[in-house]
Structure 1
Amino acid sequence: MSKEFRSEWRQKYALNGMLLYLASTIFVCYMSFNVKVGAIQGLTWNALFWIIILFAGVNSVAKSFIQEANGRLLYYYTLAKPEQIIISKIIYYSLLMIGLTLVGYFFYSVVMGNPIEDKPMFLLTVILASTGLASALTMLSGIASKAPNSSTLIAVLSFPVMIPMLLVIIKCSRNALDGIDRSQYLDQIGTLVGINAIIIAVSYLLFPYLWRS
């Protein structure tokens, strides 16, 4: 995991590019919906936010294994167990995704307004959603890296996996937006936690077979 932090720090243009993508996309939404005239509806606010975060995640996390040269992957093979590699990458990209989502949420709130009623539950949803999206995209990146045209393949693989998770995320965040009593949607939060646990467990169990190929 420390290797990922050092690599990202050396290549600051990559992180700056992600932040620029977030800022420019949010500004385009601001101009398109003409928020200066009237605030957008809560449902639209919520949907736009997660669409922006989803594409930011695909652009930032999907490069996890694809950007690694074959020689470097072989070097990793001699240094660490595959379980250690996949868990370290999941932890790093989850932290990166959480950071990007929180920065995006702050900037989005400043530009587009903030209609969220239950902010603590929304932030919990953001953390769980970022972890789930990062974990899934990291594993999919490992699969796509083994095939030609990996950049195209990751786009094809990611959306069928992301859409069911995104539906649960939007429901949870919508409940926080409306300020619904937490007891009424704790089961949805539990579903999101369960999805994260399943993705991480499957990645841990299956990645060694992928790694040996």
Structure 2
Amino acid sequence: MSSLRSTVAVIRKDVQSELRTRYALNALLMFVVTAVATILFALRSDQPTSTVLAGMYWVVVFFTAMSSLSRIFVSEEERGTTMTLQLVASPAVVYFGKLVFNTLLTLSMTVAVTILYTLVFSTFFVIQTVSIFVITVLLGSLGFASAATIIAAIVAKANTRGTLYPVLSFPILIVLLITVMNATAKALDGEALSAALGDFQVLTGYFLAMTAGSYLLFDYVWKD
């Protein structure tokens, strides 16, 4: 139970810190609004296909994640609290605490993007199979968070953090992006839930593999 309480304490610390500074939330909202507005002006009256819509949706999510999730460990370095966190909490506690926080942040981000897309593109962004979309968002958010957490830990100590994070993230997330785009297109087309089972298996496998690998690697990254 002590490990669970410690993990909850790490999550609470990050949530309280974010509510005080609102750096990630402000960056998230500003980028989402700017990206959606740009897409709106670019499309004008054109009718994009469901595949294009799904691609635009997750591209916005991806680049928003790049501007917000990367600071989960950078903020510790900037505040000089990394050493304190290393002394009071085990690597496993820190990793899972940061993973849960990143998952919550990613879910908030996808909800914001979904609401804006539904309002702005109400004529053609119509989710016909809600179950596929909800499961895709949940599994996609878990996948994004699992990859973002370990990448953020790796680049936190680098001098070129801003450019290194997206460079490392894109090759790792490309499989996830393709899969969530494919599943989202099926949700927009109104296909049956069974049509997306293969995508769900890929997303679940991605999350489990990334989480297991990150957990094993994190001890070396965090203590270095």
TM-score (norm: length of structure 1): 0.93
Tell me the equivalent position of 2:174: 163
The structure-2 alpha-carbon separation of the partners of 1:154 and 1:13, relative to structure 1 and needing over 3 Å to count, comes to closer
User: What SS does the corresponding residue of 1:117 show, helix, strand or coil?
Assistant: coil
Counterpart of 1:10? Answer: 20
Task: State the Cα distance separating 1:131 from its structure 2 match.
Answer: 1.4
2:63 is the alignment partner of 1:85: no
Q: Identity percentage over the alignment?
A: 29
Residue 98 of structure 1 is matched in structure 2 by 107
Find the counterpart in structure 1 of residue 6 from structure 2. Answer: none
Q: How far apart, in 1, do the equivalents of 2:190 and 2:214 lie?
A: 35
Match of 1:179 in 2: 190
Deviation, 1:181, is: 2.1
Out of 37, 48, 64, the residue aligned to residue 40 of structure 1 is: 48
Verify the 8 A CA contact 1:66 1:151 in the aligned structure 2. no
| Closer, same or farther: CA 117–192 of 1 in aligned 2, 3 Å | same
Q: Aligned residue for 2:69?
A: 61
Q: Could you say which residue in structure 1 is the equivalent of 2:151? A: 140
Note if contact 1:18-1:56 (Cα within 8 Å) is conserved in structure 2. Answer: yes
Post-superposition shift, 1:185?
A: 2.6
3-state SS of 2:157 partner: coil
**Comparing 176-185 and 73-82, the one that deviates more:** 176-185
Is 1:119 aligned to residue 130 of structure 2? yes
CA-atom RMSD in angstroms: 1.5
Equivalents in 2 of 1:81, 1:66: separation in Å?
A: 18
Q: Is the 8 A contact 1:26 1:108 kept in 2?
A: yes
The count of residues paired between Structure 1 and Structure 2 equals: 211
After superposing the two structures, state which structure 1 stretch, 21-30 or 70-79, moved more.
Answer: 70-79
Counterpart check, 1:20 vs 2:20? no
How many Å separate the matches in 1 of 2:215 and 2:76? 20
Partners of 1:46 and 1:85 in 2: CA distance? 34
Paired residues of 1:39 and 1:112 also in contact (CA < 8 A): no
Superposition deviation, residue 198 in structure 1: 1.1
* Distance in 2 (alpha carbons) for counterparts of 1:93 and 1:49: 19
Structure-2-length-normalised TM-score: 0.89
Q: Does the 8 Å CA contact 1:42/1:115 hold for their aligned counterparts?
A: no
Partner Cα separation in structure 2 for residue 198 and residue 206 of structure 1? 12
